[in-house]
Structure formats: structure tokens, C-alpha cells
Structure 1
């Protein structure tokens, strides 16, 4: 795999119309994109289709990459995950949480570990942006597995307040631009509004 700097240079050349740069970029990043897609979809042909869709989107919408939000590999990984999950949802609507299932699987590939780590960092960064009490309640509930009653006792707050802190905290997380921009839920299309 090439460095992020090489990838950035190739993206610039692609934006300027270089077919050779696109071919080089494709060869450099295809294994990452294909492996993530294959790990999610468990179907070679589907993974190939998604991989080609991802690179077509790179070519057509190259201006969507924002270097301030992460490396080119991260961008491709998130885009691939999103496209793969879209494909999985269309084929098997009951398996919306397939990625979570895969991440619990004992046979985690390096790409899934990378994707899991990326998601973890995005969530941690988003948690830092919400009020302290909301963050604490969410961490205790979702990451430590404490019940609402246990959280109420620990934080010395009424049970209803804890439920409100968690609800408002989750709403604030959903509004985080870092999460909205990287983990797009509507097939990678930004919502108008």
C-alpha cells in the first residue's frame, strides 16, 4: 500500500483528468476496498461490484474527499463499508446490523480491525463534543453496561434525569458533523435540508 501522501498526489492528478493516475490509485487501493466489502457481504461477485462502485464514485465525486477528516484509506474504508451495507440491506433487510456481527467474529481481518478502530475514534471524538453529564451517562450505559438505576446511583441523579441525559446525548451524537460526514446512512447521499 502506498502512503497517504502518494494517494493525495494521485487524487490531485485524477481531478486534473489523469487516467494513468486513476489506474494507479485503483491498483493501490483495490485490495483494501475489496477485502472490506468481501468481509461484509461474504460474496465475491457482490464485493467486486461494490468495489467498482466505490472507485466509480471516487472518479465522479473526487471533490467529496476532505483531507481534514482523515486519510484516503479511511475515506475509502468508510465509503466501502457504507456501500457494502447498502447492498446487504437491499438483499437482506433483516441483517442491518451485519457489520456489528462481523466485528464480533473471531476471524477479524486486518481491514475490519482498521474499520473498527476508525469507527471507535469517530465515536470517541464525537463523545468529546457533547456535554460532560450526557457523555458520562452514555459511556456508563453503552460501554460499561451499567443499568439506568446504577448510573442514577453513581451520578447521584434521579432515574428520569439519567434517561433524559442518555436520550439527549444520543441525539447530540447523531448531530455530530464528523459522524454525519463519515458514516452516511442514506446510501452515502447527504440529506437535503
Structure 2
């Protein structure tokens, strides 16, 4: 059987879903497609990836091959070249936009800064919505890292009262967060 007749037969069988025909076709042309991609891309990993893409396309569209338009090698070369050009364009576009973006580390820092400011503003707003004694107790306990005993001395209140102020203050903070849409009814963040 001539190579041309064999290729036509293999492509017809691939079009019908034959795995064996696809494997035979792949064995016959994988090196050709890989070398074509490597010549254009100059990157072995990219060439392998493109080779994979081309053969997936062959598997899905084998029935689109028309022998009157050229040889199987020409058909594969055109497919490979097209995929390479598409990939190079995408890479060029990504590089163009990536040039204008700050490095990922800086972006994370910017995002973290914005989130920290939002959280700080939210905490300040929510703290402003609870009674003064509760606000002092919660602020002292969580933001100044004072113990209950230190707070009791600073606020000139009994220890049990300070513990209750912290507990009720947290409860009221949760209610404020729910009202502001920052927490579910259970008080957990969304």
C-alpha cells in the first residue's frame, strides 16, 4: 500500500473513531509535527504541547482533510504553523499586558493593603456602634492585648464586669457585622 493511500485510509478510520488508526498516524507523523513546531517556537516544551494540540485536532477533524488540496504533510504543516502563530500571538499579547502590570508580589501587597484598610475602617465603624464601656473592653482586650485583670484596673471595674463587657461587646460586634453584610447570622465572615 502506498503512503498516500495508507494516509487516506488512516484519516478515514480516525474520522470513524478508530484508536488504532490514530495511534498509527501519530507514530508516523509525530516527529514531523514536533520538528515543525520546534522550528517555529524554538522551545521544546512548547513544541511538545503544540504537537499534542495538533494531534487532538486531527483526531477531532480527520474528515476535513481533502487530498486535492495537498499532501498530508502539507495539511499537518499548515495546522502546526497555525497553532504556533496563535500561541506566539497570545504570548506576545500576554507579555505586552504583563509589562504594564506591577509584579505579582506588589499586586498582592496592594490587594492586602486595600483589604487591611477596608477591615480597619469596618472595625472602627462597628466599634462605634456599640456602647462605650463595651468598646473600651473589646478594644483593650483585642487591640491592646490587655488581660481581663489589667482592663479591670484600667477601667476601675470589677473583673467579672469586664469579662461580661468583653463578651457582650463581641456579641454586639457580630450583630453589627451582620447588619453591615460582612457576616452571616451566625457571626462568621462570608
TM-score by length of structure 1 reads 0.46
Q: Which has the higher contact order (CA 8 A, sep 6+)?
A: 1
Q: Which has the larger radius of gyration?
A: 2
Greater helix share, structure number: 2
